[in-house]
Structure 1
Amino acid sequence: MNPAVLSDLIRSTAAEALTTRGLDTTVLPATVTVERPRNPEHGDYATNLALQVAKKVGVAPREFAGWLAEALAHQDGVRSVDIAGPGFLNLRLDPEAQGLVIREVLRRGEHFGEGDELSGTRINLEFVSANPTGPIHLGGTRWAAVGDTLGRLFAARGADVTREYYFNDAGAQIDRFVRSLVAAAKGEPVPEDGYGGDYIAEIAASVLQAEPDVLGLPEDEVAETFRRVGVGMMFEQIKGSLHDFGTDFDVYFHEDSLHSSGAVDRAVERLKEAGSLYHSEGAWWLRSTEFGDDKDRPVIKSDGQPAYIAGDLAYYLDKRSRGFDLCVYMLGADHHGYINRLKAAAAAFGDDPGTVEVLIGQMVNLVRGGETVRMSKRAGTVVTLEDLVDAVGVDAARYSLIRASVDSPLDIDQELWSSRSNENPVFYVQYAHSRLASIQRNALELGVDAGDPERTDYGLLSHEREGDLLRELAAFPEKVEMATRLREPHRIARYLEELSSAYHKFYDACRVLPMGDEKPTELTSARLQLCAATRQVLANGLALLGVSAPERM
């Protein structure tokens, strides 16, 4: 019996108790909160339902709790119900009822943890979108890991997700990049506002190899060639790095296409017709303060050129024209101003501002020997995705970036995350999975068959550590739903560590396989099925994080 099933059972039992006494059932919440008690001695699960609704129907909480406890005690799967404090209910379940989660896990396999509450929702998830002027820095790397995991979570709960990278191939930063490439190709110093680092020289050399006569062309053609070829090479490197990191995109959207296709002009005209733009001081301004922004924003500057927000407006409109119900933008720490700006853009086009969601991620540092690493081996400036992967590996890099809330700055300790010890969270979780795989291999070698999970007697799993592990398994779907709803993928990582802890404690306390001349028993089968279910849930959780589930370590 998982928490969701228990929640439904408590609600239906409470509704029956109220109806029997002629009391109003509409006071009951749609979903009854069921939690694990902080002290395991208090029971398997607890609910505060009596405290929530008793006074609304004119009775004392402990009286209502008494009605509910008496009724629940007679329900299948419930071993006992105790009233605590002013009206809390602590419930203990029969081992057989708790063990049913094993059957559910093994039936659903890799789909255990999935749900359908987002079914029919089309989500555009835009993340990373780093300027194609250099390798991805640690901030972008954080979004590569977290964004990819959020996309997996959305899909797991039924959404139709499109992962999108906004390719910023228009604007001043590209001009600076091109000037830097040309200077490197000519053997000249880095321009005052240009980009340095070995990667610039590498790309410049690659352009010369692809276009050997380029430096003999007129100056404007030199710049155009380096723009066309060099920016393309830089972006291919970025895509390759992301792919190797386990992050791929469905759509690479080119900013320049918004201008060349006339999309920006069309968006501006639509806003003019709607009265959402006004003309002042030679420029066209968006009435963004009317939609919650802190100030109005210039869309067309006094020189007639579009401001940066013009592209944002056209890009939002393009997403909506492609049929997306929700547009999620994952932006860096210096983009807080974009939250109200993008919501104002949605409102200006007549949409609910809720169609836009902006997530802000804080900065990341790589720490080595207690000191923050400041310089990249290759980029010459900020630390990059490749630097982090070289330092700790892909799995540890992804896990370390996902494990912490994006609301907080993050320091990644190279020594910790590259270590093969239980202090390293990703090693701890992966080791639990490999240990479970080892048990299944050993069972095969011993000729021990776990039997049919549909016929196994899970009532034999009465040890305290078995109960702890069963309750952790049952919590997985709820954890996935909550991580998705709150946009907090770190909850999955923390859950996997709790599940791994419960498993390691079970392993230490409960022998699974027979020893010596011992014969397998029904308890052996039940424990093997418990191990199989735990292995499956660990694999499912790691898959959501884009982290491997090794068979051996």
Structure 2
Amino acid sequence: MEMKEILKSGIEQALQDTINSGGLPAGEYPEIVLEVPPQKEFGDFSTNIAMQSARVARQNPRAIAEALISHMNFDWLERAEVAGAGFINFFLKSDMVYDTLKAILNAGDQYGVQPLRARDTIQVEYVSANPTGPLHVGHGRGAAYGSALVNLLRAAGYNVQSEYYINDAGNQIDNMAISIEYRFQELQGATLVFPPKRNEDGSMPEFDIPEGALVFPENGYRGPDIIETAKTIAEREGFDKLNAMNEADRVALFKEEGLKEKLARLEETLSNFRVTFDNWFSERTVHEADEIHHSVEALKALGKVYEKDGALWLKSTDYGDDKDRVVIRDNGVPTYLAADIAYHRNKYDRGFKEMIDIWGADHHGYVCRVKAAMAAFGYDPDKLTVLLLQMVALFRDGQLVKLSKRSGDSVTLDELIEEVGVDASRYFFLMRSLDSQLDFDINLAKSRSNDNPVYYIQYAHARIHSIYNQVREAGIAFGDYSETDFTTLTSEMELELIKKLAEYPEEVVQSAEHHAPHRIARYLFDLASMFHSFYRQGRIIGVDPALQQARLGLITAIALVLRQGLGILGISAPEKM
């Protein structure tokens, strides 16, 4: 059992003993929460359980704390003290600290990995960008966060399924197909004219159209990737074959082949970014099974949809929305909301215990609408958690970077990976909470210095392996720590490092519970900082043999936790830098 669990179990026992002895009344006491005090003089751990229990016990928090301490006579506890308004600070005996280090080394790669919980599955759906062009850096943040969250939840013992919702139906795919058609004509010598942006009143400004030129669709995709797609398809299918087809059939072919090509490139980018999915869910399946129609009809039967001005409206105001929403337009065409409703109904029917969607901040208005529809069906809307991804601002040389060097549009994820690398990109995306805007410093991310947090963490891991190489060169046997005397680790820094390592399992659990991979990033940085300080303060090799072996065991545990944590973040743990 880990250090925190032993202490928590001891507090629970003391609480029950205090109740049994009449010192506290029976009742529903709150869950025990342990924290590491900000200063060493306040002990190894602290809890506010006495303050949280005051309402149940109807007693002064300090009196509750004193009563609990009086029932905590454990051989692993040096002492416990009441502080402030009723905090309890715990000072653990050194033997317990050493036992923790042994337990970490014995657990190996399973340290911090929680046993699998109930069979119920959590589904995490993320990225889900339209397959009409390359992923940009905003998608990159969602990809890094979503994949790290999946890893984190699995480490915390949850059964997780990751899903990508492919928006392969609707106007955006039709616009992509038409855009490929125009680029196909351009490849054969046609001149394209691109309409300007509309005026503020919605009118189109006048613009020149040379004789014989084709006006590119106003809602078409203008990126250079469409040119590449048109060229790839034309060379594969043959220009003669394509020209022999009527335009409608050719556009239909461009739609299918373009979608395949875009999805393949999208999947390749994500794979290069260490992002994979258990399931790729096609929006087309919702349309083909007529699930949109069935969902709307079901809502109508429940009295949650009504007709007005020829359209069908969801009574979303019944569930907290600021106005009702159209699900079927007056021309009979479903809205995007209708498709989202059908898709999420499908999710609920698949029986997930919890569903987590990661959306861009610009989709915040959809949260209430989708949840309203689920509540209208009779589902529990609280089973659906929507996390909103805030914007990413790229900076180079202190200047905001808005445009891609290649396309003149937004910077693509591929470009960022090429310039910065996967490890730095993922860490910088993950080092801030999802709900805060992220300023991404390209120069810092590329630097090989201690100012770069991911380099600093990885260097700690590599430095430990450098020590291993020195040990091997010296002919010193190491690696089996079953008989190691860890009581030789008596310095304050050594003991603090072990206690920091002991926090890792709880950090995994709490980070998963709060959907906060950035906590793991921060923990790893703190651990690496402590290791670098330890390395500078004292020798590991060439000291007393017993102390040398104990310190090798300590840095082995540090490397283990660094590797585990970096693995959760999808970042490599290099042995040489």
TM-score bucket (shorter structure): over 0.9
What is the match of residue 154 of structure 1?
153
Is residue 359 of structure 2 the alignment partner of residue 322 of structure 1? no
Shift of 1:82: 3.1
Which sections of structure 2, spanning at least 5 residues, go unmatched? 195-215
Question: For the residues of structure 1 that align with 2:168 and 2:28, how far apart are their CA atoms?
Answer: 56
- Name the SS for the 1:336 alignment partner: helix
CA contact (8 A) 1:94 1:459 kept: no
Question: For the residues of structure 2 that align with 1:185 and 1:451, how far apart are their CA atoms?
Answer: 63
CA contact (8 A) 1:114 1:157 kept: yes
- Name the SS for the 2:147 alignment partner: helix
Deviations 1:280-333, CA, capped at 9 Å, x for gaps: 221222222222322222112111111111211211122223232222111101
What is the match of residue 20 of structure 1?
21
What is the match of residue 141 of structure 2?
142
Are the structure 2 counterparts of residues 325 and 29 from structure 1 closer, same or farther at C-alpha, using a change threshold of 3 Å? closer
CA contact (8 A) 2:162 2:277 kept: yes
What is the match of residue 552 of structure 1?
576
Question: For the residues of structure 2 that align with 1:501 and 1:230, how far apart are their CA atoms?
Answer: 49
Shift of 1:382: 0.8
What is the match of residue 272 of structure 2?
244
Question: For the residues of structure 1 that align with 2:328 and 2:520, how far apart are their CA atoms?
Answer: 44
Is residue 291 of structure 2 the alignment partner of residue 263 of structure 1? yes
Are the structure 2 counterparts of residues 44 and 262 from structure 1 closer, same or farther at C-alpha, using a change threshold of 3 Å? same
Of 228, 232, 237, the match for 1:206: 232
Q: Which moved more, 1:123-132 or 1:377-386?
A: 377-386
Aligned 1:335-350 pairs, distance under 5 A: 335-350=363-378
Count of aligned positions: 547
- Name the SS for the 2:344 alignment partner: helix
What is the match of residue 527 of structure 1?
551
What is the match of residue 175 of structure 1?
174
CA contact (8 A) 1:214 1:225 kept: no
Are the structure 2 counterparts of residues 176 and 426 from structure 1 closer, same or farther at C-alpha, using a change threshold of 3 Å? same
CA contact (8 A) 1:461 1:467 kept: yes
Question: For the residues of structure 2 that align with 1:418 and 1:238, how far apart are their CA atoms?
Answer: 24
Is residue 397 of structure 2 the alignment partner of residue 397 of structure 1? no
Shift of 1:119: 2.9
Question: For the residues of structure 2 that align with 1:105 and 1:142, how far apart are their CA atoms?
Answer: 32
Q: Provide the alpha-carbon RMSD of the alignment.
A: 2.0
CA contact (8 A) 1:95 1:461 kept: no
CA contact (8 A) 2:27 2:56 kept: no
Shift of 1:69: 3.7
- Name the SS for the 2:298 alignment partner: helix
- Name the SS for the 1:335 alignment partner: helix
Is residue 113 of structure 2 the alignment partner of residue 89 of structure 1? no
Paired letter, 2:80: V
Q: Which moved more, 1:147-156 or 1:86-95?
A: 86-95
- Name the SS for the 2:498 alignment partner: helix
What is the match of residue 5 of structure 1?
6
Of 429, 442, 447, the match for 1:414: 442
CA contact (8 A) 1:135 1:379 kept: no
Q: Which moved more, 1:118-127 or 1:302-311?
A: 118-127
Paired letter, 1:328: I
Are the structure 2 counterparts of residues 443 and 207 from structure 1 closer, same or farther at C-alpha, using a change threshold of 3 Å? same
Question: For the residues of structure 1 that align with 2:410 and 2:493, how far apart are their CA atoms?
Answer: 47
Q: Which moved more, 1:162-171 or 1:238-247?
A: 162-171
- Name the SS for the 1:186 alignment partner: helix
- Name the SS for the 2:357 alignment partner: strand
CA contact (8 A) 2:14 2:69 kept: no
Question: For the residues of structure 1 that align with 2:23 and 2:302, how far apart are their CA atoms?
Answer: 55
Aligned 1:52-71 pairs, distance under 5 A: 52-53=52-53, 56-57=56-57, 59-71=59-71
Are the structure 2 counterparts of residues 251 and 59 from structure 1 closer, same or farther at C-alpha, using a change threshold of 3 Å? closer
- Name the SS for the 1:483 alignment partner: helix
TM-score by length of 2: 0.90
Question: For the residues of structure 2 that align with 1:220 and 1:291, how far apart are their CA atoms?
Answer: 44
Are the structure 2 counterparts of residues 451 and 436 from structure 1 closer, same or farther at C-alpha, using a change threshold of 3 Å? closer
CA contact (8 A) 1:126 1:166 kept: yes
What is the match of residue 461 of structure 1?
489
Which sections of structure 1, spanning at least 5 residues, go unmatched? none
Of 440, 446, 453, the match for 2:468: 440
Question: For the residues of structure 1 that align with 2:390 and 2:68, how far apart are their CA atoms?
Answer: 46
Aligned 1:289-300 pairs, distance under 5 A: 289-300=317-328
Shift of 1:56: 5.0
TM-score by length of 1: 0.94
Paired letter, 1:53: S
Shift of 1:467: 1.6
Shift of 1:506: 1.9
Question: For the residues of structure 1 that align with 2:478 and 2:444, how far apart are their CA atoms?
Answer: 38
Shift of 1:133: 1.3
Question: For the residues of structure 2 that align with 1:458 and 1:164, how far apart are their CA atoms?
Answer: 46
CA contact (8 A) 1:342 1:356 kept: no
Deviations 1:91-127, CA, capped at 9 Å, x for gaps: 2222220122222222322222222475322122111
Is residue 308 of structure 2 the alignment partner of residue 280 of structure 1? yes
Q: Which moved more, 1:423-432 or 1:293-302?
A: 293-302
Question: For the residues of structure 2 that align with 1:340 and 1:463, how far apart are their CA atoms?
Answer: 55
Shift of 1:221: 1.2
Question: For the residues of structure 2 that align with 1:21 and 1:318, how far apart are their CA atoms?
Answer: 53
What is the match of residue 29 of structure 1?
30
Q: Which moved more, 1:49-58 or 1:2-11?
A: 49-58
Are the structure 2 counterparts of residues 446 and 369 from structure 1 closer, same or farther at C-alpha, using a change threshold of 3 Å? same
What is the match of residue 506 of structure 1?
534
Shift of 1:455: 3.6
